[in-house]
Amino acid sequence: MRRSNLAGRSASLFGLATATPERSLHELTLLTASQVPGCAAVTAAVWQGGELLAQAASHPDPPRLLELQAAAGRGADIDALASGDPVYCADTLTEQRWPEYCAAALDIGIRCSATLAHLGPSQVTLALFAARPRGIAAQQFDVAELLVAYGGALLGAVADYGSTVRTAGQLRDAAESRAIVEQAKGILMHALGCSADDALDRLRDVSQRSNIKTVTVAQRVIDGHRIVPRPDGEPATKTASRRPGQRTSRG
C-alpha cells in the first residue's frame, strides 16, 4: 500500500465522537497487522511509570505478553519505553534478554518480535509479532514507526476530546444548577418579602445546617411551592390555572 493511502487510513482512526483509548488501540493493531508484511499479530499498549493502563491486540493470545511484562518489570515493551528506540528480537528461541517473555511467546507460536515506543504525553508501545524467526524485516520499521506515532497522537486527541466533553458537561450542569437556585430565590423573595441576597443566604444556611447542596435545597423549595392547600385542607398539586367554569375532578 502506498504511503499516502496508509496515511489516509491512519488519519481515519480519529473518529473522536465514538473513540475510547481501548477502541483506538484496537483499530491501531488491526491497521498495523494489515500493513506490515510477515506480521502475524500486533499488540498496542498505554503505559505510565511502568504500569499498564490500557491494551489491545489484533489476536487473542499476545496480550498475555503485555501482562507478563508488567508483572515481571522486563521485556521488549519495557526496554522500548526505557530507551525510546525500536527493540528487535530475531528469534525468541535463542533470545536471552527476557526469559519469561520468550517462553510465553514460544508458547503461543511467536518466533520474532519488533517493538516500538512513542514517548509523548501518552506512552504507547506497538509490538509486531511473526510466526517465523526474523519474520519481520528491519526495513518495515519505518512503517511501524509511523503507525506508533499515529497511535500516540490519536490517544492524545482522544484524551483532549474527553476532557472537552467533561468540561462541557460540567458547564451545562452549572448552568442548570444556577437556574434552579434563581427560581428558588424568586419563590422565597415573593413569599418572605426579602431581597435576592437574603433569599440566597437562607438557601445557603439550610444547605450548611443540613449538609446538602444548595441546589438540592433550592429544588426542594421549588417542589414544595408546587404543593398548595385545597379548601378542604387536603394538599393538592398545583397545576395550570383552571379556565373559568372548569371543575376540578376528584378521585
Give yes or no for a contact between 14 and 157, defined as CB atoms under 8 angstroms apart: yes
Q: What is the pLDDT of residue 17?
A: 43
Q: Are residue 14 and residue 84 in the same domain, yes or no?
A: yes
Residue 59 in domain: yes
Give yes or no for a contact between 37 and 140, defined as CB atoms under 8 angstroms apart: yes
Res. 16: pLDDT tops 80: no
* Residue bearing the bigger pLDDT, 39 or 151: 39
The whole domain housing 70 covers 3-164
Q: What is the pLDDT of residue 1?
A: 39
Question: Which among 105, 115, 110, 108 is positioned nearest to 133, based on CA atoms?
Answer: 110
Q: Are residue 24 and residue 144 in the same domain, yes or no?
A: yes
Residue 64 pLDDT grade (very low, low, confident, very high; cuts 50, 70, 90) = very high
Distance CA 150, CA 35 (A): 14
Region 148-177 average pLDDT: 55
Give yes or no for a contact between 243 and 224, defined as CB atoms under 8 angstroms apart: no
**Phi and psi at residue 100, in whole multiples of 5°?**
-65, -45
What is the per-residue pLDDT across 78-109, written as a single tens digit (0 to 9) for each? 999 899 888 999 999 999 999 999 999 999 99
Distance CA 251, CA 235 (A): 13
Residue 215 pLDDT grade (very low, low, confident, very high; cuts 50, 70, 90) = confident
Region 120-148 average pLDDT: 76
Res. 41: pLDDT tops 90: yes
Q: Are residue 134 and residue 12 in the same domain, yes or no?
A: yes
Least confident of 48-57, 63-72, 96-105, 174-183: 174-183
Res. 153: pLDDT tops 60: no
Residue 210 pLDDT grade (very low, low, confident, very high; cuts 50, 70, 90) = confident
Q: Are residue 7 and residue 82 in the same domain, yes or no?
A: yes
Q: What is the pLDDT of residue 110?
A: 95
Residue 187's domain is classified under what CATH number? 1.10.10.10
Res. 150: pLDDT tops 50: yes
Distance CA 208, CA 105 (A): 60
Region 137-160 average pLDDT: 58
Region 246-250 average pLDDT: 41
Region 142-148 average pLDDT: 60
Count the alpha carbons within 13 Å of 52 in the hemisphere toward its beta carbon.
Answer: 23
- Residue 148 has a CB neighbour count (10 Å cut-off) of 24
The overall average pLDDT reported for the chain is 75
Q: Are residue 140 and residue 198 in the same domain, yes or no?
A: no
Q: What is the pLDDT of residue 145?
A: 62
Residue 239 in domain: no
Q: Are residue 25 and residue 125 in the same domain, yes or no?
A: yes
Res. 127: pLDDT tops 80: yes
Percent of the chain's residues with pLDDT above 70: 65
Q: Are residue 150 and residue 197 in the same domain, yes or no?
A: no
